[in-house]
Structure 1
């Protein structure tokens, strides 16, 4: 068993390396900056609590996505947390400063916000260039089902984007 300080340093290093995952999920699942911050903290807490159970059977980022998405989906039950309408953060907002705040990105995220919770998770993973196998592992569905769902989600997004423009 590793000393606690080594485990903590390792955890922090891994979180820092993959923190973009958490920011994306918070941006899509929370409706304002305050809720994004709360969700971010809750995801970090759940990742820390779950870290001892991480067996490295999958990539850390895949496991992290799974925990973060499950946490975000669970938080939907809490009032006023679910993203109903995309509110683009101010330019100085670090959580989104890495994303280009162009009109196309705004429209895309507005469309994504209208998807159901599983569709949001799948499209986020796909946009993050995860393989169908990684998406299937993270969501807990078959690779074939990922393929079918992505075709449907892309078609749905195209319709939503067309309505929003």
Structure 2
């Protein structure tokens, strides 16, 4: 068991940025991102004994586990119809530069996408080739290409 624990710790250290990026694409709230991250780590730990791939396939497997975890929790959250209670509204934020606003706008538009489309955009933003995105999501590279064109058009129409 110690060997698995050491392997898991190494795996988390080397892939924590990837896992965090996936979690961040599903929520901007720090606490919720931390919950998604923790839940993803639990699912990786549970699935590690059944992972039979080689090191090269590990990155794709981690993406799939993180995406599936976030998509599942996102679906549960949407079914609950919760209303966030925040009172720390800053109506005048001097740091709101145009670049920050564009990044927030992009993040908000990505969050409006369906979970599968959000996953495609996330993987594309990570500079993964279409073939690898397709392998991770179980679709063809051509389908990735077509979906990205449609997603871009959809995001242009968003407000």
Structure 1 residue 15: Cα displacement: 1.6
Equivalent residue number for residue 35 of structure 1: 32
Question: Structure 1: which 5+ runs fail to align?
Answer: 86-100
Paired position in structure 1 for 2:61 = 63
Paired residues, what number? 142
How far apart in 2 are the matches of 1:114 and 1:79?
A: 14
- Deviation sequence 1:69-118 (CA, Å, 0-9, x none): 00111112323689x99xxxxxxxxxxxxxxx822221111110111100
1:31 CA displacement: 5.0
RMSD: 2.4
- Any idea what the Cα deviations from partners look like across 1:5-25, whole Å, max 9, x if unmatched? 222212211221111122122
What SS does structure 1 have at the residue aligned with 2:76?
coil
Matched residue of 2:77: which SS? coil
Q: Provide TM-score, normalisation by structure 1.
A: 0.76
CA distance in 1: counterparts of 2:28 and 2:44, whole angstroms: 22
2:145 and 2:29 mapped to 1: Cα distance?
32
> Per-residue displacement from partner, 1:40-72 (whole Å, max 9, x unpaired)?
111000011011122225532111000110011
In the alignment, what sits opposite 2:8? 11
Larger helix proportion of the pair: 2
Q: Which has the larger radius of gyration?
A: 2
Match of 2:23 among 22, 26, 35: 26
Q: 2:41 is matched with which residue: 44, 69, 73?
A: 44
CA distance in 2, matches of 1:44, 1:119: 23
Give the TM-score normalised by structure 2.
Answer: 0.79
Q: Which runs of 5+ in 2 are unaligned?
A: 85-98
